[in-house]
Every structure is written in structure tokens, then in C-alpha cells.
Structure 1
């Protein structure tokens, strides 16, 4: 990585991938599925994953400018994302779950590979700039929390034109007409 553009792309790629790790875990581990929060977080995750997969084709430092096995994983990820979204739109829960879990496991595998190889950018950054790495980790955690918070807020929002919920009934108060029956 020599140019500023390449460095910025690597930072954006790695940052988005790490946010996708946290966001994907939240989507996969929460009990409710298919609600507005799941869909909002899922779309954010799909967009992030698509960026990570496509940006990987510009990152070729591993093999002197040639494509590597990680680029094959990027193609598989892009295909799986499309198939997973298509399955969700068709209400094919099993197909959606399988494709999205597969993408997430591929993401975890590549993240482990990015961290485990000592000469890669992330381990070098952590060793040479520990405070910067800590600040970056805090910023990524805050970004992930913000995306999850927005997704949860989306899930609580009433659709336009929806009736307001009735206030809870007071104890001892009877509903009008209920005593007449």
C-alpha cells in the first residue's frame, strides 16, 4: 500500500468488515426475526458486506497484485448475498438463513485470517499504534451500536396512518358496556 487512496480503501474495507462482524452477530443472535429492526439491520449488513466484497478486488497486496483465494470468497459472498435477499423476498426462510449464515461465517473466517497473519495491516497497526488501535476499536464499536440503535428505532416506529395504541386500562375500571352484558 503506497498511495493515500489505497490506504483509505484498506481502512474503509477493514472498518466496514469489522462493523459487519458486530452487526451480523446482533442480527443472527436476536430472537425476533423478520420484523422491521431485522430488515433494517439486515439491509445495512448486506450493503456493508457488498462493499467489503467488491472493495477486496482492489486490495491485492497478498500475492503481488494477483487475485487470491480471498477474492474467490468475495465472489461467493456476492452471489450468496443476492441469493439470500432473493430468498427473503420469496419468504424462503431456510434459503435466506443458509445464505446469510454462510456469508457471516465467511466474514468471520476472513477476519480471523486478516488478524492472524502477523505481516497484515491490522496486526501491524495494533502493535505499532496501540492507542490508535484502541481508539479505532472504540469508534467501530460505537458505529456498530449506532447502526443497531437505528435499526431498533426503525422497528419501534409506527407506520404512517396507524392508529395510536390505546392507553392501558386502569385497575378496577370497567369497559363501557361490559357491565350491561
Structure 2
């Protein structure tokens, strides 16, 4: 099995970021400037997670997770285009679907024996705890900063009622 390297570590950190910030944006009541700021960073992290996954392969080569990455690239892009075109229902469906797919992939990567995350948990639990704390702290900082900035400046794009 390939040992940890920068690609795998940054992939895992970005995936953790996606997992943490997804619900923060999905369940927010206001879909304002803060929603867009968090959303653009979430989309960037999703693209990184999906694209970097193609260079992370086990002994068997590509798996169904790589197919999920390709599909997620499509759904995130469709969700982004839908938001830009103000097709909110389509945007919501694509983004929530992308998030659910990421949670499924994360569960598989976390629970399946022989994967890197369970291996790291058994061999270096402090490293995994530090990385998780880093993801949570940076996600909270982004969320609070975006919310604070959104309060200070007027929203240039008024919310449209569906």
C-alpha cells in the first residue's frame, strides 16, 4: 500500500473541509453573500477532491470511487452554473446530491478495512486528531468570517423568491 504523501494528505484535508462546510451552507436560512463565499470555497475544495482522486489509486487501479469523482465533477459544475443562472431548485439538488455522494465516499474511505484513514487511526491517532481539529477550526474560521463580512456589506445580488 502506498504510504501517505502530500497529495493524499491534502486530498483528505479538502474532503474533510467539504464534509464540514456542506451542512453549514445547506442548512443556513439566509442564502446571502456569506452563502456564496462559503459556497465558492466549497466548490473549489470539491474540484480539488475530485481531480486529485484520479492520481490516488490502490493496487487495483481505478475503482467506483473514481467514477463517483467524475460524476461529482459534473454535478458540482451543473450546480454552479444553475446558481449563476438563478435556477435555485436545480442548484440545490445538484449541490445536495454532490454532498451526499461525498459523504458516501467518505464513509467508505473511513470504514473499509485496508483504507488509509483506518490505518492512520490505528497507527497515528494523534496525527488524525490534529488534522481533524485543523479542518474544524479552519472551517469555523471561514464560516464566521464570511458571516461577519456579509453583515457589514450590502448584498449586491438581492435574493429572489422562488
Q: Same fold (TM over 0.5)?
A: yes
Q: 5 Å matches for 1:1-181?
A: 1-2=2-3, 7-33=5-31, 35-61=32-58, 63=60, 66-159=61-154
* Runs of at least 5 residues in structure 1 that lack an aligned partner in the other structure: 160-181
TM-score scaled by structure 1? 0.81
C-alpha spacing 1:115/1:62, structure 2 compared with 1 (3 Å): farther
Contact 1:41 1:147 (C-alpha < 8 Å) held by counterparts: yes
Q: Secondary structure at the match of 2:53?
A: helix
Deviation of 1:23 after TM superposition, in Å, equals 0.5
List structure 1 segments (4+ residues) > 2 angstroms apart after TM superposition: none
Equivalent pair of 1:40/1:154 in contact (CA under 8 Å): no
| 2: CA distance, partners of 1:151 / 1:104 | 20
How many aligned residue pairs are there? 154
TM-score, normalised by the number of residues in structure 2? 0.90
Cα distance between partner residues in 2 of 1:141 and 1:45: 14
Give 1:62 deviation, angstroms: 5.4
CA contact (8 A) 2:16 2:132 kept: no
